[in-house]
Structure formats: C-alpha cells, structure tokens
C-alpha cells in the first residue's frame, strides 16, 4: 500500500512520537561523536517526556511543521522566537531551531518543503531575518543552508556532557 506524504502542525499529543523521531534523527547523525551516557541523558532531556520538545509543543510562540507517511513521522521543522546568540539581530528576528529528516527520507524533497514552510511562515509573521545554529563539522547541513540563502555570521558553542563543540550561527535576510 502506497501511503501519501503529508504535512501538518502537531499538537501536544504528538510529543511521544515526535520525540522518538527526533531522538532517532539526532542519534543517527551525532551518536558516534559522544560518550553514550551523557548522550542518552541529553536525548532524554531534549526529547523525552517532560523534556524541551514537549515544552516547546505547548508554547504558542513556537511554530511547527511535521512530515509524515501515514502515521509514521519522518521529519519536522521548528521555528521559534530568536533564542540563539546572534550578532545584532533585528527586532522580530526568528530562529529555525531544528529541521530534522530521518536518513531514509533525506534527499527526497522533505527537508526542502519543511524549509520553504519555515521561510514562508517567518515572512508571513513579519520577520526580517531568520537565524539558525549548525555544528561546524556538519557539512551536509551547511550545504543545505547555503542553498537556501543562509550564511555564517557568528559562533557559539554546544555542550553535551563534558564535550563542548563549536557551532556556527547562520542568518538569512527575508
């Protein structure tokens, strides 16, 4: 049976399924870089019950778009008020906090559609610029963001356990 790819705005009821999908996408990309114990703790705090994802699903200032095949979640994008450390942001700047697509669905237009939703939503909300942070060594993500008009404007760090990684702050003028 061929199921149709569809997109929707999740509710808090999707927290468990969305957390499981995000945990898998993040693990597939980053698990080899980190010690397992702090990595699992991070995943629980970010994507587990009562974690940051669930909190953001209850926050009306955070906007979401989810991609699914049938009832299987395969990707999402999260747009929020600016939380990242950005150099001299304009009033009303927003942040693309996460855009995750499961590896099986990468390169099939899902991330493209999620990105377009984020850019269109930010414009419709009157934002003049959109920021994101990206791990310095995530070349695939950096190529994707470059294709969508983002460029590096600063640096920040990401801590997971005892490890501190360099992230880059990127911006796109809308």
Band of pLDDT at residue 3, cut at 50, 70 and 90: confident
168 pLDDT more than 60: yes
Q: Which of 91, 95, 101 is nearest to 169 (CA)?
A: 95
In this prediction, residue 2 carries a pLDDT of: 63
Residue 1 has pLDDT above 50, yes or no: no
- Report which of 18, 26, 59 is spatially closest to residue 42, judged by C-alpha positions: 26
pTM of structure: 0.94
Give the strand pairing for 129-135 and 94-101. parallel
| CATH code where residue 70 lies | 3.40.630.30
Using DSSP, state whether 83 is helix, strand or coil.
coil
Q: How far apart are CA 81 and CA 87, in angstroms?
A: 15
Digit-coded pLDDT (tens) for 94-130: 999 999 999 999 999 999 999 999 999 999 999 999 9
Encode pLDDT of 138-163 as tens digits: 999 999 999 999 999 999 999 999 99
Report the C-alpha gap between 119 and 96 in whole angstroms: 9
d(CA 168, CA 101): 20
How many degrees, rounded to 5, is the angle at CA 37 between CA 36 and CA 38? 100
Which residues constitute the domain of residue 44? 5-173
Q: What is the pLDDT of residues 19-66, one digit of tens each?
A: 999 999 999 999 999 999 999 999 999 999 999 999 999 999 999 999
- Domain count across the chain: 1
pLDDT digits (tens, 9 = 90+) for 58-92: 999 999 999 999 999 999 999 999 999 999 999 99
DSSP strand pairing (72-81 vs 63-69):
antiparallel
């Amino acid at each position: 049976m061929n199921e149709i790819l569809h997109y929707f705005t999740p509710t808090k009821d999707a927290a468990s399924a969305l957390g499981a999908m995000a945990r898998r996408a993040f693990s597939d990309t980053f698990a080899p870089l980190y010690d397992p114990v702090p990595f699992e703790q991070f995943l629980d705090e970010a994507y587990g019950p009562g974690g940051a994802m669930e909190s953001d699903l209850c926050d009306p200032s955070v906007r979401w778009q989810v991609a699914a095949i049938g009832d299987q979640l395969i990707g999402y994008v999260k747009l929020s008020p600016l939380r990242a450390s950005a150099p001299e942001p304009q009033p009303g700047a927003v942040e693309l906090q996460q855009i995750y697509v499961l590896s099986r669905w990468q390169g099939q237009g899902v991330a493209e559609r999620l990105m377009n939703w984020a850019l269109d939503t930010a414009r419709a909300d009157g934002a003049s610029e959109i920021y994101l942070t990206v791990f310095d060594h995530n070349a695939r993500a950096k190529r994707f963001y470059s294709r969508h008009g983002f460029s590096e404007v600063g640096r920040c760090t990401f801590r997971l356990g005892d490890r501190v990684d360099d992230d880059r702050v990127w911006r796109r003028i809308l």
